[in-house]
Amino acid sequence: MSYRRTHLCMACVLLLACAMVIAAACGSSGSSGGAAASPQATSSGGGSPGSLASPATSATPLTDAEATAVRALTKAYWDAYNTRDPEAALALLSPEYRASAGESIRSEIGRLKTFGVKLGVTEKSPPEATGSGKAKLLVTIKTPIDTRTVVMQFSGGGDTWIITSAEE
């Protein structure tokens, strides 16, 4: 086999490995819906929740301060992914969610670090109340191979919120 062909084959293998890691990191395992995001994470609001929207709830709407706090928490979580800091990401989770998804999140962030991948996150729908002291926010995760929607669930109130799940 020529040098050129060998070099091309090795590049193809590396590209395939990257694609598999990215797909796994973006929630194909289903445990955390984990995906990484980039510093481009925005809170642009707007956007239709599409088919993932739940029926209207009778919950009290989030105040502007609460929506801002949920957005800030979301940005901090995805920034922790992008800076390859699993402990910072885990610190933003409820104890129950951390216990169930912690190892998966550490693994996903490790794979992203190995392949030097940073992914983009944008807000797909604004934060909304889903019950007393509960909220959700949909984000779009852009990877080098696809785009996915992650539903993030929160618990708290005022300016103190915690992530209770982040799943595709």
CATH of the domain at 46: 3.10.450.100
Q: Determine contact, residues 150/67, Cβ cutoff 8 Å.
A: no
Q: Judge contact between 142 and 59, C-beta under 8 A.
A: no
Q: What is the mean pLDDT of residues 92-102?
A: 98
Which domain does 56 fall in, by range? 3-167
- The tally of domains found in the chain comes to 1
pLDDT (mean) for 45-49: 39
pTM over 0.85: no
Q: Which two tokens stand for residue 143?
A: 């990877």
The highest-confidence range among 22-31, 107-116, 153-162, by mean pLDDT, is 153-162
Residue 58's pLDDT is what? 53
pLDDT at position 75 is 97
All residues at 6 or more sequence positions from 91 whose CB lies less than 8 Å from its CB, including other chains: none
The more confident residue out of 3 and 61 is: 61
Backbone angles phi and psi of 9, in degrees to 5: -65, -40
Give the number of other Cβ atoms within 10 Å of residue 120's Cβ: 20
pLDDT of residue 35: 43
Lowest mean pLDDT among 28-32, 70-74, 106-110: 28-32
* Residue 94: band (very low, low, confident or very high) from pLDDT cuts 50, 70, 90: very high
pLDDT in tens, 74-87: 999 999 999 999 99
